Amino acid sequence: MTALTLTINGKTMQADRGQTILQAAQQYGVDIPTLCAYKDLPPFGGCRMCVVEVDGMRGFPTACTTPVEEGMVIRTETSTLQSLRLETFNMLLSEHPLSCLVCPENGNCTECMMTIRKGGVTTGCGSCPKDNQCELQTLAKRLGVDDIRLPVKYRMYPVEKYDPFYDRDYNLCILCGRCVQVCEKLHLLSTLTFVERGARTVVGTAFGRNHVDAGCSFCGACVDRCPTGALTEKTRKWEGVAEQEFESTCTYCAAGCSIRLQVRKGMVIGSLPGNDYSVNAGNLCVHGRFGISEVVNHAARLKKPWYLIDGRKFECSWEEAIERTAEKLTGLKPGQISMQVSANLPDEDLYLAGKFAHQVLGIPQADAGNIKHLSGFERLIKHAASFEQLRKADCVLIAGLNTHYSLSWLEFDLKELKRNGAFLISIGSGKRPLDQFVHELIYSRDDQAESVIGQLVETGEKVAIEKETSAAVRSASALHRSVRPFLLIGPEYTGNAGILDKLALLAEKLHAGVICLPMRGNIYGVLRSGAEYSINHRVDQPELLYCIGEQPTLPAAYTIYQNAFPAESGRVDIGMPAALFSERDGTFTNAELRQRQLSRAVDPPEMALPDWQIIAAIARKMGAAGFEFKSAAEIREDFGNARVNENWNPDIVNALLALPSGQPNEPVFLGSPLSTKVAGLRTLFPSLKAEAGER
């Protein structure tokens, strides 16, 4: 970076070669108004707000597109520029419902007439979901707009509400192009483009298809970047501005993406990509972006403990519920109890559930002597690497991963990898966005995948590549030649023991880095905490079934059910409401084997408690020692002291990984597919099924 000297508004400043005038000015706090420029997008130059005067340059160049040069003399606030900006802004406003912006009664109106909000059609700021968050409002103030001198040209587009998760009202759109650019930047199949020409130009999809059909992955990046109310999230459109934000982790799949929970009035109103870029680099997939507020605010959340007598349900206090539970558990032998714990729980709860099983209920830990081999999954874990390492790989085998919806943010990383010269190989069945993109595509039905991967293991690097060489052989050669090979394993294969075995062989032979991403939240936490044996302690006809975050699928004489959501079927004798990840502190172990932080953004609903508190209370009630925890941090300490089980039972690991229901790419959360809680997902996943059927 060479430092350059330039003059902005008479002040001498330093800038780096390659910077734009806008970037240089912003470094020094010089405010140049912009609408289309956005920090992580390439300059567009469409809104013309950032026009400046530069000595020696013809006309009025835009600060966002013009690179700095040595000795440039720049002026950003001359009267010509101000009037040019104001006139252009007037033009933008002439297409945008602006009555509130220039209304002298604006202040009183906001105070007194809150009820006019939530209109089906936005006619002014008062009825716009982005009121007070809109960049046009800010700019109107900055430029001093009091009236516009042009006729109003409302564009009369119908509001597009037929796709899940976000609504589109292009009457409010100023065509800044951020959504189009970010879609192209992040995704293999970019959905958005400009359609039509001239005054009829609008953002849309090819052939006017809806976003589901056009291949949108619903990552929400466009919504986050929209400066106006044109793109709004359905569930939070009327929730207003967030009062607080909490950095946390999405627990839906094993990636453990960083998220930012937005909170207003004690409620999670939305989730945005978090500031920790190590995993998801500022992007999310549909589950983390749109799936969280609907789940944590779900109307069916359990709020009070209860018990069942003669088919009648009695709500009760925690003391009573704990007492009844302790009473039932006391005196039963391990062979009479089946305890099932969800892999979605945070590390602390998993650890405590395991401890409870061994120490209180007496369920034995796996016996090292009985275990003949490790499962493929465990062998892969020994190669677990980080997403940062993935980004440095030079050859990546993408196995059983469809980035269309789940993990769609990986597409950006894969694009970057390809741009940096990495060789990409995809193996899987069904149509997927990766098909056209990777260097080698190996189609295989799931039952053939095992043998194809076996072929990758056996074929060495010194294979002669000819015209008729198969994709598998070419891929094998590339993998064996590579210096930093990487295996990226998606949910389609994580449940298949045979395929995992072969992939483990491949990883061992190549010394490859591995990221294995099952759609079962904290599966790594389960294995790490050594709790896996107890967690899926299955007894076929138990006397008593204790489900923590799982559905009661076994017929039992007595069922104790501890979850945030009601049981989908079966009889529950004691029910206990649990808090969710947004309502408690804790950690979560992701596919990199890193502990990711959860944070308590809001209080649990009514009486609901974190699972560890419930388990600890039951243990104490049963007279067990070592359960006197006051916080999740204390459990973590205890956890650190405990011996972590190294001897996992492969059968149980495989059983854990096999998904009970739902699409392979859809997270299972607390015992049921996420789409049972998130309405929008129901429109996405049937199409996935149909797609797979097409081939």
Q: Which residues bind other proteins (CB under 8 A)?
A: 43-48, 51, 59-62, 65-67, 80, 84, 87-88, 91-92, 94-95, 149-151, 153, 174-175, 177, 193-194, 196-201
Minimum distance between the CB of residue 47 and other proteins, rounded to whole angstroms? Answer: 6
Sheet holding 11-16, edge to edge: 11-16, 3-8, 73-75, 53-54
What is the crossing angle of helices 497-510 and 446-458, to 10°? 20
Tell me phi and psi for residue 578, to 5 degrees.
-105, 155
By CB atoms closer than 10 A (0-12, 13-18, 19+), residue 350 is buried
Judged by beta carbon, residue 61 or residue 433, the one nearer other proteins is 61
Smallest distance from the beta carbon of 166 to other proteins, in angstroms?
22
DSSP 308: E
User: What does DSSP assign to residue 337?
Assistant: E
Nearer to other proteins, 38 or 669 (CB): 38
Q: Give the H/E segment covering residue 263.
A: strand 258-264
Least distance in angstroms from the C-beta of 203 to other proteins: 10
Nearer to other proteins, 44 or 165 (CB): 44
Judged by beta carbon, residue 48 or residue 584, the one nearer other proteins is: 48
In the block, residue with structure tokens 């006397």? 543
Cβ closest to other proteins, residue 75 vs residue 484: 75
Please report how close the Cβ of residue 63 comes to other proteins at its closest, in angstroms. Answer: 10
Shortest Å distance, C-beta 182 to other proteins: 16
Q: Are 589 and 522 a contacting pair, CB within 8 Å? A: yes
Q: In terms of CB distance, is 66 or 589 closer to other proteins?
A: 66
Q: Which long-range contacts (CB under 8 A, 24 or more apart) does 144-151 make?
A: 144/86, 145/86, 145/89, 145/90, 145/93, 145/101, 145/102, 146/102, 147/102, 148/90, 148/93, 148/94, 148/98, 148/102, 149/90, 150/90, 150/91, 150/94, 151/94
Contact by Cβ (8 Å): 71, 6? yes
The least distance separating other proteins from the CB of residue 132, rounded to whole angstroms, comes to: 23
- Rounded to the nearest 10 degrees, the angle between the axes of helix 446-458 and helix 471-481 is 50
Closer of 84 and 159 to other proteins (Cβ): 84
Decide: 376 and 613 in contact? Cβ < 8 Å. no
Shortest Cβ distance from residue 583 to other proteins (Å)? 45
Contact 97, 169 (CB under 8 A): no
CA distance 453 to 501: 10
CB of 454 to other proteins, least distance (A): 39
Q: Which is nearer to other proteins, 193 or 683 (CB)?
A: 193
Question: Strand (E) positions, 46-183?
Answer: 53-54, 73-75, 166-168
Nearer to other proteins, 58 or 643 (CB): 58
**Tokens standing for 468?**
């008729």
C-alpha–C-alpha distance, residues 213 and 206, integer Å: 10
Query: CA angle 516-520-522, nearest 5°?
Result: 85
- Which residue number, 194 or 238, has a Cβ lying nearer to other proteins? 194
- In the complex, minimum distance from the CB of residue 242 to other proteins, in angstroms, rounded to a whole number: 30
CB of 66 to other proteins, least distance (A): 7
Least distance in angstroms from the C-beta of 591 to other proteins: 36
Which run of H or E residues covers position 410? helix 410-419
Nearer of residues 96 and 404 to other proteins, judged by Cβ: 96
Query: Phi and psi dihedrals of 633, rounded to 5?
Result: -65, -40
